Structure 1
C-alpha cells in the first residue's frame, strides 16, 4: 500500500544536535552567550562519533583542528569581530573538493592519502566567512554516479532507512546534514549530485547558475556542467551558505523582486525575470515523460507541494518535453567526453584501482567522437536560447527532483511498469538543467512510504537570488 504524507516520520537513527536547528538560531545563541563555536564543534564531534558508524557519511574528521579554529572564532567574537552568518558554524566538505589541512581522495583508490597543497576557492571562501570545517564527506568514486554506494570508503546510508541509498554523488554530505551531524554541507552537482541526495534525504539542495561559484580546486568530472552547491535543512541556511560561496553576491532578497542585471559567468543574461509579484509566481509544471518514469504517488505528492507554493493551479509546460531528446543527447556527449579526458591515462594505466561500475562507464565514454562533442556544445547553445525565451513567460519550472524514492543499496533497476535503470531514473529529471547551466533547487515535498521526495524548481540563468527568495518566502516545510 502506498502512503503519502506531509508530516515528518522519525529518522531511522537518533538525530544529532543540529537536526532542526537553523544557522540563524545558532548565531543568536552564540551572540547571547548560550553557545560558543567550540560548543558547536563538540556537538558535531559527538554526533559524528555516534552516528557515522551507522551512516558512513564521513571519510575524514579532525575535531581537534576544528576546535582550534573554533577558539579563534570565539576570540574574534569576543572582540566584536563577526565575519558573517557562518561565523563559528561547523560545516562538512565533499571529498572531491580540495582542503589543504585534510586528505582529498575523490572516493578513489588512486588518491588514497592525497593531501592538496591549498584549499579549493569555495572552501577558502567558507573559511573567510567564519565557517569551521570539521571533516570530509563520502563521494561516489570520482563523483561519477548518483547512488553514493560506489566508493573506496564504502557506501553512505540514508538516515531515514539505512538499507537505502542516500543518492549521490554528494552522498556523505546529505547523510551528515539529514542526520544532524552538521547543519550544512558543501556538495558538487554535475547532473544532479546535490539535488538527488537532497531529495532522497529530505533536504534543501541548491545548484547555482553555471559559473556563479568558482570550481577551482574541485576535482573535475565534466567541467562545463558541474558546480559547487549546498545541502541544508532549510532555504534560509542555503541562502547564507551561497552568500559565502559567491563572495557575498547572493543577497537575502525578498521574493517578487527582479533578478536585476547579469551575473559574472552566467550562461545567459536574465535581466528582467521576476519570480512572482503580488499575483504570485508563474509556475509551470514539467511532466516526467519522456525524461524519466512516473511513480504516481511520488508525482502526486510533489505536484501538491508545487501547487501550495504557487498558491493555485499550475500551468502545464509540455513545450519543455519536445527538447528532451536533444538535451539528453547533448548531455551524454559532453559529460562522457569530458569525463574520459580527465581519466584517460588512469583508465589505461591503472584500471584495477577503479570500482568496476565506474570503470565500465569510463570505458564506454571513450567512444564519443570529436565531432559529436563539438556538435553537442553547439546544440547546448541553441537550447539555452530556447529556454531563455521560455523564461520570459514563466518564473519557474516545477517537477519532481527524483521520480522515485530512495532505492536499496546496490539496487540497479526499478521494477514495475515502465521499469528502468536506477542511474537513469535518479538523474532523468535533474541533468537537463546542468546542460542548460540553470539554477535549480530541491525542496522537501513530503514522504511516500516513509521516505522523502523532493520538489525541484528551476529558474532562468542568473536568477539565483530570485529563485532562493521565492523558495524562502513561499515554501512550506513539512510538519515536524
Structure 2
C-alpha cells in the first residue's frame, strides 16, 4: 500500500500498479502529480526534448477506465514512462541531440515505443541526449546542459542524460535509455539509479549496431524488471534480436540464494583512469555484503588493455567523422566544439586501421567472456570517478582523453553480457557511487535478481533518499 505521506510521483511502478488495482489511486491523479513535479523542476534540469502532458492525460483517462473495468492492457498500464530521443516515435522529430542535423520524422515508432504503448504505458515525452550520443554527460549543442536532480551543478552522465535526470527527479518511475559503451549505467552511477544494459538482442531495436542496446532506468530493480518484461517482447525489425523468450522476472529477495554464488570482484580495469579510493571502498563494501551472505568472492584480474580502449575510441571517432562529413559544410560548425575536435583527430585514419580497430574490439569481446565466464556475477565500479561538473562534456573537462572512463562498462557492450548499475554508497561530499553487477551471457534474470537482493541488503548508508519534493501540504 502506498505511504500517504509520500506524493504519488515518488512511488514505484510496482506500487502504482497495486494502487490502481485496488482503486486507491487513478492514473489521472498520478499523471497530474508527476506533471506538477515536472513543472517545478524541468526548467532547471532540462530533461525533455519533447514533452506533451496533454496527450499523456488522454492516455491516462483511457487507462483509468480500463482499471475501473478490470481490463488493463498490460503490466505497465497507466504508468508514466519516458523514452530517449533516439527511440523513434511517430510525430516526434529525431535530432540526435545535435543542432547541426536535419530532423528525422519517423513513419513508425520504434519497437520499444510500440511495446510500451501496447502495454498501456503513458509516454510523457522524449528525453535529451548529447550530440550523437557520444559524450558521457548532458552537454548538447541542441539542448544545452542537462543537470542532476541531486545537485544541479553536477552532471547527469550520458548519453542517456535526460532519462537519468527524469528518473532521479521523479518524472515517473520508468525510463528507457540506450547504451553503446556505458550510456545507461553511467547516468546510473552518477544519479544513484538502478539500471540494466540488457544482453545484446534482448530488447529489439529498429537500428541495431555493434554494442548498442536499449534498457530500463529506474529507482529499483523491481521496476527495471517490470519494464524489461514489456520492452523485450519480440519485433522482427531487429534481425539481431534473441529468440522470443519469456523472462521469469519474479524477484524475491527473501529466498535469494546468495550463498550458492561464485562472485568475481573486478577493481582494476587494466586501462583508463585510476579508480578513486572512495569509489573502490564502496564497491569493496558491496562485495562484502555478498561475502557475508556466503557467496565465494574472488578477485578478477584486469582483462582489458589501454590499446583496446584506444581502438574502440578510434572506431567510434571514425563513425562520427563520417556523420560529420555528411552534413552540409555550413552546418558542421553547429556541432558541439568538443565533438568537432574529437572527430578531427582521426581525419587521416584509413580503412586498414579501422579493420584493426574492429579486430581489437573482437579481442575485447573474447577477453571479457573468458575472464568473467567462471563467475555467476562480477562486481565492479561502474565508473572510476564520481559525478563531475554539469558543464563538462567528459569527466576531465574539455581535454581529450579518449574513452578513459569506460574501462569497466564497455567490455559488456562488446561481449553482449547483461550489466546493471545500483547505488552502493556515497562520497564524503554526498555524490552517488554505482556498483556494476554483470552476469553470464543472456542471464538478465540472474543479474536483476542479484541487484534486487542487494537493494534489500545494502543498508541506509548506500540507499538513495530520492530528491523528489514532498507533496504540498
- Cα deviation 1:254-287 (Å, max 9, x = unaligned): 689xxxxxxxxxxxxxxxxxxx956332111112
2:246 is equivalent to residue 249 of structure 1: yes
Identify the residue that residue 315 of structure 1 maps to in structure 2: 298
Distance across 1 between alignment mates of 2:120 and 2:442: 26
Identify the residue that residue 442 of structure 1 maps to in structure 2: 421
Aligned residues of 1:235 and 1:471 also touching (Cα < 8 A): yes
TM superposition shift of 1:333: 4.0
Distance across 2 between alignment mates of 1:460 and 1:348: 46
Unaligned runs of 5+ in 2: 1-5, 234-244, 466-473
TM superposition shift of 1:340: 3.3
Aligned residues of 1:189 and 1:226 also touching (Cα < 8 A): yes
Identify the residue that residue 132 of structure 1 maps to in structure 2: 122
Secondary structure of 2:82's counterpart equals strand
Unaligned runs of 5+ in 1: 1-14, 257-275
Distance across 1 between alignment mates of 2:14 and 2:394: 41
TM superposition shift of 1:369: 2.7
Distance across 2 between alignment mates of 1:149 and 1:52: 16
2:125 is equivalent to residue 146 of structure 1: no
- Cα deviation 1:431-453 (Å, max 9, x = unaligned): 22222222110111111111101
Distance across 1 between alignment mates of 2:319 and 2:113: 24
Identify the residue that residue 410 of structure 2 maps to in structure 1: 431
TM superposition shift of 1:54: 1.8
Aligned Cα RMSD in Å?
Answer: 2.6
Identify the residue that residue 376 of structure 1 maps to in structure 2: 357
Report how many residues are paired.
436
Alignment of 1:96-245 (within 5 A): 96-111=86-101, 114-216=104-206, 223-245=209-231
Aligned residues of 1:169 and 1:193 also touching (Cα < 8 A): yes
Identify the residue that residue 357 of structure 1 maps to in structure 2: 338
Distance across 1 between alignment mates of 2:157 and 2:7: 20
Distance across 2 between alignment mates of 1:364 and 1:354: 15
TM-aligned CA distance change 1:336 to 1:328, over 3 Å: same
Secondary structure of 2:287's counterpart equals helix
TM-aligned CA distance change 1:367 to 1:119, over 3 Å: farther
TM-aligned CA distance change 1:16 to 1:104, over 3 Å: farther
Q: 1:66 pairs with 56, 59, 66, which one?
A: 56
Q: 1:345 pairs with 326, 342, 347, which one?
A: 326
Distance across 2 between alignment mates of 1:278 and 1:200: 27
TM superposition shift of 1:123: 1.0
Distance across 2 between alignment mates of 1:425 and 1:314: 27
TM-aligned CA distance change 1:384 to 1:409, over 3 Å: closer
Aligned residues of 2:196 and 2:215 also touching (Cα < 8 A): yes
TM-aligned CA distance change 1:195 to 1:430, over 3 Å: same
TM-score by length of 1: 0.84
TM superposition shift of 1:455: 0.2
Identify the residue that residue 9 of structure 1 maps to in structure 2: none
Q: 1:454 pairs with 430, 434, 438, which one?
A: 434
TM-score by length of 2: 0.85
TM superposition shift of 1:351: 0.8
Identify the residue that residue 287 of structure 2 maps to in structure 1: 306
Identify the residue that residue 81 of structure 1 maps to in structure 2: 71
Q: Greater CA deviation, 334-343 or 356-365? A: 334-343
Aligned residues of 1:402 and 1:425 also touching (Cα < 8 A): no
Secondary structure of 1:107's counterpart equals coil
Q: Greater CA deviation, 280-289 or 396-405? A: 280-289
TM-aligned CA distance change 1:209 to 1:429, over 3 Å: same
TM-aligned CA distance change 1:414 to 1:352, over 3 Å: closer
Aligned residues of 1:17 and 1:180 also touching (Cα < 8 A): no
TM superposition shift of 1:329: 4.1
TM superposition shift of 1:324: 2.4
Secondary structure of 1:28's counterpart equals helix
Aligned residues of 1:97 and 1:120 also touching (Cα < 8 A): yes
Identify the residue that residue 236 of structure 2 maps to in structure 1: none
